[in-house]
Amino acid sequence: MVPLSILVAVAILPIILICLYVYSKDRDKEPLKLLVKLFFLGILACVLVLGLSVLEYFIPGLNKDTSQMNLIEVLIYSFINVAFVEEFFKWIMVYNFGYKSKYFDQLYDIVVYAVFVSLGFAFLENILYVIPQGTLKIGIIRALLAVPGHACDAIFMGYYLSIARIYKNRNIKMSKRNVLLSLLVPTILHGIYDFCLFSSIPALIFVFFMFIGVLYAFSLSKLNTISKELIRDKKMKPIK
C-alpha cells in the first residue's frame, strides 16, 4: 500500500507546478488573494458537478457504465454529460469572478484566471481519483494527461474571453461570439479527449495520443505568445 502522503503529493504536485508556471509568465502579477479565490471557486465548481452527477443514478439511461453504451451514447455522454457540464461550471466561475474583475486589464490576465479555476477543479477531482485507488499509477497517468488537459482547456477559455473583453470595450459586435467560443471550444476539446478514452476503440486511443500531443504543443505556443504581449488596454474597464 502506497503511503497516503505520497499519494497526496502525486495528486497535487502537477497542479502546483502548472499554476506556478502560468503565474511565472505573468509579467504584471495578479493579486494572490484573487488567484486563491479563483482556485477555490474551481473546487466549488467540481463540487457542483459532483452534486449534479448524482442525478444520473436516478435517471433511466444515464446510470449506465460507458462500457455498456453504444458509440452514439458514448459520444453524447462524453460531450454533454462530462465535457459541457464541467466546462460550463468552470466557465461560470471564470466569467463572473475573472472576466468581470477590476484587475482584468491585460490580455494574459484572464488566461491566468481560467487556469487557476480549472486547476482548482482538477485539484479536487485528482484527490477523489487518486486517494481511493491507493496506487501511484492513477496519479501518474492523471499528472501526465488529465491535469494538463484541464489547463489546456482553460488556456483556450481565457484566450477567447480576452478577445471578447477587448471587443466589448471597443463596442465591436464580435464580443458575444467570442464569449460563446470561450465555452464552446474548451467543451469540444474536452469532449474529444473523453470520447477517445471512453470509446475503448484501439484506433481512437491512437488518435487520443496524437490529439494530446497537438493540444499540448498548441496550448504552450499560445500561452507563450499571449504572455509576451504585455497589452494594457486603457479602454478595458470592469464590467458591472
> Where is pLDDT greater, at 212 or 64?
212
Q: How far is CA 88 from the centre of its chain?
A: 10
Position with higher pLDDT, 227 vs 32: 32
Tell me the CA distances in angstroms from 180 to 26, 57, 159, 185, 236, one per residue in order. Answer: 25, 30, 12, 9, 19
Confidence band of 234 (pLDDT split at 50, 70, 90)? very low
DSSP per residue, 128-174:
HHHHHHT-HHHHHHHHHTHHHHHHHHHHHHHHHHHHHHHHHHTT-TT
| Predicted confidence (pLDDT) at residue 87 exceeds the cutoff of 60 | yes
CA distances (Å), 158 to each of 25, 113, 115, 153, 176, in order?
A: 15, 7, 8, 9, 14
Task: Examine residue 239 and state whether it is found in any structural domain, yes or no.
Answer: no
Predicted pLDDT of residue 64: 65
Report if residue 150 sits inside a domain.
Answer: yes
SS (H, E, C) 64-97: CCHHHCCHHHHHHHHHHHHHHHHHHHHHHHHHHH
Stretch 199-224: mean pLDDT: 93
**Beta bridge mates, 232:** 106
The residue that leads in pLDDT, 54 or 84, is: 84
Instruction: Tell me the per-residue pLDDT of 132-179, one tens digit each, with 9 for 90 and over.
Output: 888 899 999 999 999 999 999 999 999 999 989 888 777 677 788 999
* Per-residue pLDDT, 239: 44
In a domain, residue 240? The reply is no
Contact 216, 153 (CB under 8 A): no
Q: Is residue 107 part of a domain?
A: yes
Residue 197 lies in a domain: yes
Owning domain of residue 184: 4-228
Q: Over the chain, what is the mean pLDDT?
A: 89
Task: Count CB-CB contacts under 10 A for residue 222.
Answer: 16
* 28-71 pLDDT tens trace: 899 999 999 999 999 999 999 999 887 766 655 555 677 778 89
Which helix (DSSP H) or strand (DSSP E) does residue 43 occupy?
Answer: helix 32-53
State residue 63's pLDDT score.
57
pLDDT of residue 223: 92
Over residues 99-121, the pLDDT tens digits come to 999 999 888 999 999 999 999 99
What pLDDT score was predicted for residue 143? Answer: 95
**Are 173 and 202 in contact, with CB atoms under 8 Å apart?**
no
What is the tens place of the pLDDT at every residue in 185-199? Answer: 999 999 999 999 999
Instruction: Please count the structural domains in the chain.
Output: 1
The answer to whether residue 235 sits within a structural domain is no
pTM here is: 0.91
Q: Is residue 237 part of a domain?
A: no
Inform me whether the pLDDT recorded for 16 exceeds 80.
yes
With a cut of 80, say whether residue 182 has pLDDT above it. yes
The answer to whether residue 155 sits within a structural domain is yes
Neighbours of 29 (CB within 10 A): 10
